[in-house]
Amino acid sequence: MQTPLYHEHVRLNAKMVDFHGWDMPVWYTGIKEEHLATRRHAGLFDVSHMGEITVSGEAAAPFLDRVLTRDIASMARGKALYTFLLNDAGGIIDDLIVYCLEPLTGYLLCVNSSNKDRDLAWMTGQNAEHALIRDMSEAYSMLALQGPAASAILRACLGFDDTGMRPFSFVVTDTPAYGELIVSKTGYTGAGGVEIFLDAGTAPALWHAFTRGGATPCGLGARDTLRLEMGYPLHGNDIDDTTTPLEAGLDFAVDLGKKGFIGEPALLAQKDRGITRRLAGLVVLDRGIPREHCRCLKDAREVGTVTSGSISPVSGKGIALAYVDARIKDGDELLVEVRDRTLLSVVTKPPFVPGTLQA
């Protein structure tokens, strides 16, 4: 599948890959350059592959309160929340952001493209409340404008001032040139900025406006290194339907007090028992890069497995997320097996670097 910006990516000579069925750019000029441009100035990402699902009707809030882990009914218009769809065992079917368009009756869910069909099937199967669930992914495109200069570029290109907006808030704004935009103070880079949902037809024009305004086109490669520097999990790597939010250290996105959501009994039981593994950050002291599936050793005993690993373009050090024995503490040293070597690493609570850097 191709996003509305496919021809733009090709024109920019991007290295393209098949990402869960989507032809997506991994990089245009290089991951490091794009990564640093985002931390220091502004990066522009085509994330139109993301899935958009609307849930509406009188039953919308009661239904979402049962399938999602946050308190949905109390959301005000213009508020967004990071949350999960869990299975009965408390495993993460998907992580997503829910946007309250209309309190109690209108919500937009932004889900991982690779999970969208599974999410839809799960929600439809659970929909005893008869909420109206619609896949809007074809109608919506999505751009992420991220970095310390994002506000200035938004102001210059759209006359839009986002400086008063709080993180995880959004506004719906009508523009003469690009139609209706949902501008959201969210992102996957830690660099600040916004994510914008818009009509697929006007996405290329807004993309051009932002690049002319000084934003650097960035591919999925930089998106991955940026999120890893912040310690943000990637579904399919660091979290999946066999790991729980408690094990992943994502308790903040679970309102255990609200009662009655799918997976809650399993999470309460796990909380009682105590977790046996946890998702930890690793910073490598030796020269080398940990990669997914590398084993972690302590005193010659296997104590964990890397789920995401790369090099931090900012620090030049190897960084990773790994599930480790829950008894392992931040500050402990581990060895990570990389091919025929082991790399000395320190268990470190992310973020691994500051989200924005001086230009």
Determine which helix (DSSP H) or strand (DSSP E) holds 184, and give its type and residue range: strand 179-184
Residue 30: CB minimum distance to other proteins, A: 5
Number of residues that bind other proteins (CB under 8 A): 18
Q: Hey, what are 342's tokens?
A: 């082991």
**CB 43 within 8 Å of CB 211:** no
**121, 172 contact by CB (below 8 A):** no
Q: How far is the CB of 292 from other proteins (least distance, A)?
A: 11
* Choice from 5, 16, 24, 31 touching other proteins (CB under 8 A): 31
**Chain position carrying tokens 């350059």:** 33
Contacting range for other proteins; rule: CB under 8 A; set: 193-201, 240-248, 295-303, 308-316: 308-316
How many C-beta atoms lie closer than 10 Å to residue 215's C-beta? 27
Taking the complex as a whole, how short is the minimal distance between the CB of residue 308 and other proteins, in angstroms? 12
Say whether residue 37 binds other proteins (CB under 8 A): no
Residue 231 in contact with other proteins, rule: CB under 8 A: no
Site string for other proteins, 7-26 (x = CB under 8 A): --------x----------x
**Residue 131's CB: how many other CB atoms inside 10 A?**
24
CA distance 173 to 53: 20
Kindly tell me which of 38 and 243 has the beta carbon lying closer to other proteins.
38
* Alpha-carbon span 330 to 349, nearest angstrom: 6
Q: 32 or 295, CB closer to other proteins? A: 32
Contact, 153 vs 215, CB < 8 A? yes
Q: According to the binding rule CB under 8 A, does residue 45 interact with other proteins?
A: no
Residue 291 lies near other proteins (rule: CB under 8 A): yes
Look-up of token digits 């399938």? 67
Nearest distance from C-beta of residue 50 to other proteins, angstroms:
21
If one asks whether residue 311 binds other proteins (CB under 8 A), the answer comes out as yes
> What is the rounded CA–CA span in Å between residue 134 and residue 97?
16
Helix crossing, 220-230 with 31-40: angle to 10°?
60
289 binds other proteins (CB under 8 A): yes
- In one letter, which amino acid is 2? Q
Least separation in angstroms between residue 121's CB and other proteins is 32
Min separation Cβ 286 and other proteins, Å: 11
Q: 295 — alpha (psi -120 to 50), left (phi > 0) or beta? A: beta
CA distance 238 to 246: 13
118 belongs to the binding site for other proteins (CB under 8 A): no
Closest CB to other proteins among residues 133, 311 = 311
Nearer to other proteins, 60 or 218 (CB): 218
Taking the least distance from each CB to other proteins, the nearer of 198 and 234 is 234
Binding site for other proteins (CB under 8 A): 15, 26-27, 30-33, 221, 225, 287-289, 291, 310-311, 313, 316, 339
